[in-house]
Amino acid sequence: MFFTLNVKEVLPTLPTISLKNYTAPDRSSNNDTSSKKSKKKFEKISQTDLKQKLEEKLLASTITQQEPEKNISDTPSHTSSWSIFKSIFASDVKKKVAIKIQENTLKKIPFPQDKPTFPTEIMDMDTSNDGPIDNSYLVAQAEAIQNKLMEFNVPVSIEWFDIWPSIVQLRVKPDAWIKVSSIENLKNDLALSVKSPALRIEAPILGTSCVWIQLPNPKPRMVYLWDVLKSPEFRQAMQKSTTNLAMWVWIDGGIIVKQLEKMPHLLVAWATWSGKSVGVNDFILSLIFQNSPSELKFLMVDPKQVELEFYSWLPYLLAPIVTQSDKALKLLQRSVEEMETRYSKLKKTKVKNLTEFNEKHPEEAMYRIVIVIDELADLMMTWNKKDVEWCITRIAQKARAVWMHLIVATQRPSVNVLTWLIKANVPTRVAFGVVSQIDSRTILWFKWAEDLLGRWDMLYSDPQTKNATRIQAPFVSTAETERIMAHLKDKYMQGLAEDEFYHPEIIRMLEGQVEYAWVWWSSSWSGWWNGSDDELIEQAIQVISETRKASATMLQRKLNVWFARAARIMDELEERWIVWPQEWAKARDILI
């Protein structure tokens, strides 16, 4: 547990001994009387007053610790004042530390532990269906595709159809001498022949000599979240893990369940009206369905202020939903510190993960933390982009073993937002539907996301899958979410106030009531954040004046900052006319 401890508050108040008016006694025989008086006066200050003050302190500390009273006058004459001071100091430190720990510890509330946490009966159970697709439609589409390929001298045979909730999939087998690329290059011509707004070709199918051609379903079927939560596949998965994400329906209507702890982080990208909000709600509700508030906590960042507002005032939250970028950075920094604190506990107990720790120390069992960022682009477009990237990268690299997970979503899947450092550490990705092939490759490393139909149609990729898998996300409406939240609040919020389930340290940090000490490793990225750039600029001016050299790489070494910040300092020095502007590969002239 990290907290700020003021040494002045801990140190006991000692008597102030003033020697300002004290004059050394005269050793001569003529001044014996005055020296004795001065000596007695000094002894009275140094022994009587100090003894009385120490006696009061010691008495108060012994009463607090419930120890037998000791009279300081009974102590042996050879006991030094330093030992008394140490005992007083130790007792005061223990009391202050105990108070600080109590103030910065989440209050333990005995929540009900029954699972699942909410019934599926309160959700929408619409079983309406437009009926099966006519066989004549399927035959007509197959003939159109086959005839168009024959026009370009690409003979194929149609083997069978698969009917998905939102698409129809044709399995096409080309002749032995046909190149797969020759079919992929005819994508636009095939879409024109079947009059389809979106057509996707997956070639080849792994383990076969066939190609998938996917068309929109003329009678799409809606898949609801309650279909997944009540399914035998999901209930069976709940017996093995409580981090199952109920968000995928396979082509034939089968349920796919993935565990968040195996991902262990998730990156989501989408275009407007493609179903991202529904997908994120699926992730959150499926985790809440399996865990009580004492087992699962959320930290949510919602720059739009409306996407995650359903979950406010819920005991699953460690802090209120953050909507400001500067507070979001503080929240990420606090998450990094919590991760390091948990690893310190694992090191002391000699275990490798939080599962083993909770088994060995059930009285100190720690909960799982899921950090949900609804719009990463808003954080990455601010001045502290590097710090946001660094925090996300640190959590993605190390937090799996201590039960901390990231769900990061963005509407702008560009390289400025999804940097290579973030993508390299978050291998599990979901694309709901993007505008261009460039955006698809940015999020998935694959194309095809630009051909998705929307309406919760998405591509999923993780380290275990070689290619992106097309699946259908279940739908959950706003009314359903509100009913679920009302049920959870009635179940867990009886007689509880907001400040009872929020983490007090995080609340004070977000409100700016205390100075939050940023950890030492932040300096390795962008320097000590507690200080301003003015301090570094003054140090840079001193270094340049001494060395008579000016370059970003030199400032990077001398000031122990990263290159990006060193370059910004050089730009500032150039604006102040301390160094001359850069001229090709020539060294900068020093103007001071």
Q: What is the pLDDT of residues 235-274, one digit of tens each?
A: 999 988 999 987 666 655 678 888 999 999 999 988 877 7
Query: Which residues of the chain does CATH 3.40.50.300 include?
Result: 242-511
pLDDT of residue 203: 82
* Radius of gyration for the chain, computed over Cα atoms and rounded to the nearest angstrom: 34
Query: Two tokens at 68?
Result: 């037998």
Q: State how far the Cα of 503 lies from the Cα of 317, in Å rounded to an integer.
A: 9
Q: Residue 345: is its pLDDT beyond 90? A: yes
pLDDT of residue 507: 87
pLDDT above 90 coverage of the chain, percent: 30
pLDDT confidence bin for 23, thresholds 50/70/90:
very low
pLDDT of residue 300: 96
Q: State how far the Cα of 244 lies from the Cα of 231, in Å rounded to an integer.
A: 13
Q: Which of 378-382, 444-448, 481-485 has the highest mean pLDDT?
A: 481-485
Residue type, 494: Q
Residue type, 409: A
What mean pLDDT do residues 412-426 have? Answer: 90
Domain 242-511 has CATH 3.40.50.1000: no
What is the pTM assigned to this prediction? 0.70
Query: Two tokens at 578?
Result: 């301390």
Q: Residue 131: is its pLDDT beyond 90? A: no
Lowest-pLDDT range of 49-58, 310-319, 517-526, 583-592: 517-526
What are the distances in angstroms from CA 323 to CA 337, 378, 469? 21, 10, 33
What mean pLDDT, rounded, does the chain reach?
79
pLDDT of residue 4: 43
Q: Residue 81: is its pLDDT beyond 70? A: no
Q: State how far the Cα of 494 lies from the Cα of 515, in Å rounded to an integer.
A: 34
What are the distances in angstroms from CA 155 to CA 143, 148, 199, 555? 12, 10, 19, 66
pLDDT of residue 145: 93
pLDDT digits (tens, 9 = 90+) for 137-191: 889 999 999 999 999 999 999 988 888 888 888 999 999 888 988 999 999 999 9
Residue at token pair 């005819």: 186
Query: Which residues of the chain does CATH 1.10.10.10 include?
Result: 531-592
Q: Which of 50-54, 221-225, 338-342 has the highest mean pLDDT?
A: 338-342
Higher pLDDT residue, 402 or 542?
Answer: 402
Residue at token pair 């909410």: 118
What is the four-CA torsion angle of 285, 291, 296, 301, rounded to 10 degrees? 0
pLDDT of residue 286: 94
Query: Two tokens at 131?
Result: 């009926």
Higher pLDDT residue, 233 or 84?
Answer: 233
pLDDT of residue 526: 39
Residue 158's DSSP bridge partners are 172
Residue of 342, 294, 289 whose CA lies nearest to 315: 294
pLDDT confidence bin for 59, thresholds 50/70/90:
low
pLDDT of residue 99: 59
Q: Residue 74: is its pLDDT beyond 60? A: no
Residue of 527, 518, 520, 538 whose CA lies nearest to 561: 527
pLDDT of residue 251: 55
pLDDT confidence bin for 565, thresholds 50/70/90:
confident
Q: Are 467 and 443 in contact (CB under 8 A)?
A: no
pLDDT confidence bin for 37, thresholds 50/70/90:
very low
pLDDT confidence bin for 104, thresholds 50/70/90:
low
Q: Residue 561: is its pLDDT beyond 70? A: yes
Write down the architecture of domain 531-592 according to CATH: Orthogonal Bundle (1.10)
Q: Are 466 and 481 in contact (CB under 8 A)?
A: no
CB-side exposure of 94: number of CA atoms within 13 Å? 10
Q: Are 399 and 336 in contact (CB under 8 A)?
A: no
What is the four-CA torsion angle of 250, 251, 252, 257, rounded to 10 degrees? 0
What mean pLDDT do residues 525-533 have? Answer: 43
pLDDT digits (tens, 9 = 90+) for 195-228: 888 888 988 887 788 998 999 888 888 888 888 8
Residue 396 phi, psi (nearest 5): -65, -30
Q: Are 518 and 530 in contact (CB under 8 A)?
A: yes
Using CB atoms within 10 Å of the CB of residue 390, give its burial: 0 to 12 exposed, 13 to 18 middle, 19+ buried. buried
Using CB atoms within 10 Å of the CB of residue 93, give its burial: 0 to 12 exposed, 13 to 18 middle, 19+ buried. middle
Domain 135-216 has CATH 3.30.980.40: yes
DSSP-based three-state secondary structure for 220: coil
Q: State how far the Cα of 340 lies from the Cα of 458, in Å rounded to an integer.
A: 35
Residues in the chain: 592
Q: Buried b / exposed e across 462-492, counting CB within 10 Å, b at 16+?
A: eeeeeebbbbbbbbbeeebbeebbeebeebb
Q: Residue 27: is its pLDDT beyond 50? A: no
Lowest-pLDDT range of 79-83, 343-347, 373-377: 79-83
Q: State how far the Cα of 75 lies from the Cα of 77, in Å rounded to an integer.
A: 6
pLDDT confidence bin for 105, thresholds 50/70/90:
low
Q: Give the helix/strand (H/E) hosting 478.
A: helix 478-492
- Cα–chain center distance at 585: 42
Q: Residue 549: is its pLDDT beyond 60? A: yes
pLDDT confidence bin for 134, thresholds 50/70/90:
confident
Q: State how far the Cα of 393 lies from the Cα of 41, in Å rounded to an integer.
A: 66
Query: Which residues of the chain does CATH 3.30.980.40 include?
Result: 135-216
Query: Two tokens at 536?
Result: 């570094």
Q: Residue 432: is its pLDDT beyond 70? A: yes
